[in-house]
Structure 1
Amino acid sequence: MIDIARVAGVSPMTVSRAFKSEGSVSETTRAAILQAAEDLGYVFDSTASNLRSQRSDFVAVTIPSLNNANFADTVGGLSEGLKARQLQILLGYTNYDILEEERLIEQLLRRRPGAIVVTGGRHTPRARRLLENAGIPVIETWDLPEAPIGHVVGFSNAAAVRGMVDHFVRQGLTRIAFIGGDADRDTRGSDRRAGFVAAMQAQGLAVDRLIAAGPPPISMREGATAMGRLIDTMPDTQAVICVSDLSAFGALTECQRRGLAVPGRYSIAGFGDYDIAAVAVPSLTTINPFSRAIGTKAAALILDVLDGRQDGPALLPITPELLIRESSR
């Protein structure tokens, strides 16, 4: 600011007032100051201002995966919703590890964010304590936790998969398998598997076709490998529900390599409504979780809380949509 004041021929205090758009600075003087800042490549340091106001200009966010289109859409919706208030996102990557999530939450909270958005509703006891005592809005997403910490924007992963099972049973398919990942790491994938098990049991069907595909995130290759094991060990399977569209696409390609018709010999479904599900041949039956809407709703909720329009914890449910496509017809 001293450098800008010297170039503009004003005092450092006038520079400060110009950046705050105070009326005591004329438009001519403000224009000269802003031009000097532009010429010098000056970037306003908001740290001291944030300390004085006790308000931050960023929101902390944790996501399990950087290359997952669903989480990218959620972050995109969140970023777009916060843009009008010039709130930025500080992103933490947990790699589906709740211990890493705990470490990141502590690191992010040290930077005093205006709010924190976490993916999922299951955390370590210490991470939960950190969030409960953070003194800022906490939004849990992509889940419907039994004991929310603060606000929730999400859905029941188990209920979503139950609807998929019911769809297959209505088609007369009873020998249904589930391809998923490491249940200890991917809590949402674990919930989907639990929903599969509950739905099969409710229909009076055997739950003996649970195929583990490795640690999350499950890739197309791992989906193909898991489908190969299923075909080799339980060839009488009629339908397969995969934990994600990527693993479902891998399962589809394994069937095509072996000359097994989809649909016909097998029906296959995924989860997430990725672009690849719509363009695959055949197109993949899937579940649309409205991932971008999760981010948009979370952003609107943050602004409501910060502006005092939201009193008390909010629960904003998302209703996933079953998209029946060619792979299960």
Structure 2
Amino acid sequence: MSDLPATIANGNPGRRKGNRVTMDEVAERANVSPSTVSLFLRDPDAVSSKRAERIREAIAETGYTINRLAGALAASHSRTVAVIVPSMINAFFSETLQAMQDVFEARGYQLLISNSNYDPDRELELLRAHLSWSPAALVLTGNQHQAARSLLEATGIPVAQMWELGDEPFHLQVGFFHEDVGAALAEHLYQSGVRRFTYVGSRMHLDHRAQKRAEGFRAWLEKKGCTATIIALEESTSEVVLTQVFDQLAKTADQPQGLCCSNDVLAIGALFEARRRGIDVPGQLAIAGFGDLPLSKLSAPRLTTVRPYPLEIGRTVATRLLQWIETGTLPAEPETVDLGFELIVRESTCAVPD
């Protein structure tokens, strides 16, 4: 057997490995009460600056870490908020998650994030897995969760839906109506002189928000006596796919045409394909997207698009949920927050003054 002293855990000499530093020990070292340490961990601004500094020093010296499992057992839920998004690489959702994380972390909560890949069955599996960790709240993307409704209604915790507004909300919906996005784009193209319309969307059999934008696009034009061709791509953007789309557009090239894409990535790809074919944009073909990604301002011509508000969605969801989490209440009636969107008109659809 080694004569060396027991392993020192959490930076505290003489402490055997596996024995955690307690809140009482931090309080003793900082010369404050355990309740003051607890308050500091929940809300640092609620503690005087002098006491807060002593507590920070004590935590650094002892290597104290919060035992969130113990807290979850005492409070019947953990200090985590479960969030399910359809895509981890989509810039919209990344910004929303960052905004949510900033708000929740300031109050001592952590996000438990997972990706459903637009699959409702996977979303249900992830939901069950998250609930096993007793989260303080749940955040889902969109409003189509029929398979999970009974499970969600039985959780007893706040449930928020983001990025879409629609029927049968749970406790909170924050976002906008995607049908209105499609209608706004259709109206803009129509007023720009376009009379032949095509909407191209990728994976719309899974991404029902893109499908709703297509429906809004078609419905607005039908009221004007116009017909919109809807092209539903089964895969993400590729040169082969865009070539097929432009081959189809070429069959009706006798009038000014408008191409509305379900996202900016697809629309920017269409701009490249149009340039490759020598098609004048917007003279022969007006192109619009959705998302207002950074590259949309740098494309040639610059891309007309719709700007959602991902940061505001994240902040609003987090702020409202925190109110209910910290008071231990649920709203008497579901709340809906319509943050709207902005149509950004640039040179890909019409001449824009400098």
Give % identity. Answer: 30
Question: Does the alignment pair 1:162 with 2:217?
Answer: no
Amino acid at match of 2:198: A
The worse-fitting range, judged by mean Cα deviation, of 229-238 and 91-100 is 229-238
Structure 1 segment 97-176 matched on structure 2, within 5 A: 97-125=119-147, 127-176=148-197
Question: 1:158·1:196 contact (CA, 8 Å) conserved in 2?
Answer: yes
Cα displacement (A) at 1:203: 1.3
Question: 1:8·1:36 contact (CA, 8 Å) conserved in 2?
Answer: no
Structure 1 segment 156-235 matched on structure 2, within 5 A: 156-207=177-228, 209-215=229-235, 218-219=236-237, 221=239, 224-235=242-253
Give the distance between the partners of 1:149 and 1:212, measured in 2 at CA. 30
Question: Does the alignment pair 1:58 with 2:58?
Answer: no
Q: Show the counterpart of 1:286.
A: 305
1:41-73 per-residue CA deviation (whole Å, 9 max, x = no partner) reads x64331012211224211111111111111111
Amino acid at match of 1:241: C
Relative to structure 1, the CA distance from residue 48 to residue 132 in structure 2 (aligned partners, 3 Å threshold; closer, same or farther) is same
Select 1:7's aligned residue among 10, 13, 25: 13
Q: Show the counterpart of 1:68.
A: 90
Give the distance between the partners of 1:198 and 1:182, measured in 2 at CA. 20
TM-score, normalising length: structure 2: 0.82
Question: 1:267·1:328 contact (CA, 8 Å) conserved in 2?
Answer: yes
SS at match of 2:348: helix
1:136-190 per-residue CA deviation (whole Å, 9 max, x = no partner) reads 1100011112111221001100111101101111122121100012332111011
Q: Show the counterpart of 2:42.
A: none
Give the distance between the partners of 2:309 and 2:257, measured in 1 at CA. 28
Amino acid at match of 2:87: S
Give the distance between the partners of 1:200 and 1:268, measured in 2 at CA. 16
Amino acid at match of 1:322: L
Q: Show the counterpart of 2:40.
A: none
Select 2:66's aligned residue among 29, 44, 49: 44
Question: 2:157·2:330 contact (CA, 8 Å) conserved in 1?
Answer: no
Extract unaligned runs of 5+ from structure 1: none
Structure 1 segment 310-325 matched on structure 2, within 5 A: 311-312=331-332, 313-325=334-346
Question: Does the alignment pair 1:242 with 2:248?
Answer: no
Q: Show the counterpart of 1:305.
A: 324
Cα displacement (A) at 1:130: 1.4
Structure 1 segment 87-102 matched on structure 2, within 5 A: 87-102=109-124
The worse-fitting range, judged by mean Cα deviation, of 301-310 and 103-112 is 301-310
1:227-281 per-residue CA deviation (whole Å, 9 max, x = no partner) reads 3233344334611110000000111111011011111110000001111111111
Question: 2:10·2:20 contact (CA, 8 Å) conserved in 1?
Answer: no
What is the aligned-residue RMSD (CA, Å)? Answer: 2.9
Relative to structure 1, the CA distance from residue 221 to residue 15 in structure 2 (aligned partners, 3 Å threshold; closer, same or farther) is same
Amino acid at match of 1:265: Q
Relative to structure 1, the CA distance from residue 195 to residue 44 in structure 2 (aligned partners, 3 Å threshold; closer, same or farther) is same
How many residues align? The count is: 320
Extract unaligned runs of 5+ from structure 2: 1-7, 38-50
Give the distance between the partners of 1:158 and 1:203, measured in 2 at CA. 16
Give the distance between the partners of 2:115 and 2:60, measured in 1 at CA. 39
